[in-house]
Amino acid sequence: MKIGIPRGMNYYNFYPFWHGFFTFLGIEPVLSSKTTKKTVLQGSQLVVPETCLPVKIYMGHVLDLIDNKKVDVIFVPSHQSIAPKIYNCSKIRGLPDLVRNVVKRNFLLIEPTLDKSEKKQGLYEYLYESVAPLGITDKKLIKKASKAGWEYQNRFNAMMRSGMKLDEALDCVVKGKFVEHKEDDTGKYQINVAVLSHAYNLYDEKVSMKIFKKLEDLGIRSYIAENLSMDEMKKGFMVLNTHLYWANEYEVTGAAGHYLVDKKIDGVITLTSFGCGPDSIMVERITRYAKRLSKPLLNLTVDEHTGEAGFITRLEAFTDMLLRRKRESVIKSLSKQFGERKEEKLVQNRT
């Protein structure tokens, strides 16, 4: 039995879990191919233009699974809320409904709902809904499969925290390996930058335009929200004087709060897709606090028309600014030391 998983939205956060869960139950997960120009084009034809880029891409992936991979069972989960009254964005909440209404193909849609605000819509109900349409209704087996899923997910999380790249980490997880990332890069990079966004923006190379590679070419070490622990992100909310409102706010506001006061970080880059409702509010808050904490901030907005050239120019300009700032601070501290030494000499001469 095969189940198609579109490579978009929550895939970047929860795929290891789904992989472990489905393979344990003898279902083979099939992924759509990586995002291409065609994916974006096909997806954006299905929904209204105002929809955000990641959702358009998601629709493209669903089509890719049905047309090219010939899978007729598609897994589209709806993550309503992760804690009582902590809801996701409407588009994530209604993702299966959107797919059901706009994709005009013949396929079986598997649409489990995870809603922690409701009493009977927790993880096990969610998992039951995921496999019940495929004929697996043994609740004990599902519980066991869930444990297998968590094993994969935890391994993945640990690898991401150690600073591994997402592709490598996913590769290792799928093969059942666990490798700790142990690259010592102190002194290799001049500048450290935190890149903040939702995983589906950041790791989709079509959306983020390979931002990590571009930054590395410019001599920048980039930090991401996945490098942080939950506690660090929770403290980040306190820095920004706010509380959790959106389900996927940790990776943006929480991480921003942490990195804005981190002395090691020279600047912060946020990447949002045009028309993203939650992000517009989060970024407004981050911008206000970045100003107060005098940390350089670059807000990048992308949609399907964003040109790569303009993107690079902005990154380069930001890098130049950071370098100049760093040089200035180095010179300042040097001259301060130099000045102190001069005074010391004068004092010695007098005595």
| Shortest Cβ 47–another protein spacing (Å) | 5
| Shortest Cβ 312–another protein spacing (Å) | 23
**Candidates 9-17, 173-181, 282-290, 329-337 — which segment interacts with another protein by CB under 8 A?**
282-290
**DSSP codes, 209-260:** -SHHHHHHHTTEEEE-GGGS-HHHHHHHHHHTT----BTT-IIIIIHHHHHH
Count CA atoms closer than 13 A to 66's CA, side-chain side: 19
CA distance 68 to 63: 8
Site map 43..72 versus another protein, x via CB under 8 A: ----xx-xx---------------------
Binds another protein (CB under 8 A): choice among 18, 75, 87, 259: 87
Please tell me whether residue 128 binds another protein under the rule CB under 8 A: no
Please tell me whether residue 276 binds another protein under the rule CB under 8 A: yes
CA distance 65 to 4: 6
**Tokens 């993550």 -> residue:** 79
Please tell me whether residue 111 binds another protein under the rule CB under 8 A: yes
Distances from the Cα of 83 to the Cα of 11, 88, 95, 170, 271, angstroms: 20, 10, 19, 26, 26
H or E element: which one contains 195?
strand 191-196
Please tell me whether residue 10 binds another protein under the rule CB under 8 A: no
Pick between residue 69 and residue 285 the one whose CB is nearest to another protein. Answer: 285
Please tell me whether residue 275 binds another protein under the rule CB under 8 A: yes
Please tell me whether residue 119 binds another protein under the rule CB under 8 A: no
CA distance 156 to 178: 8
Give the binding site for another protein (CB under 8 A).
47-48, 50-51, 78, 80, 85, 87, 89-91, 93-94, 96-98, 100-102, 111, 113, 242, 245, 274-278, 280-281, 283-285, 288
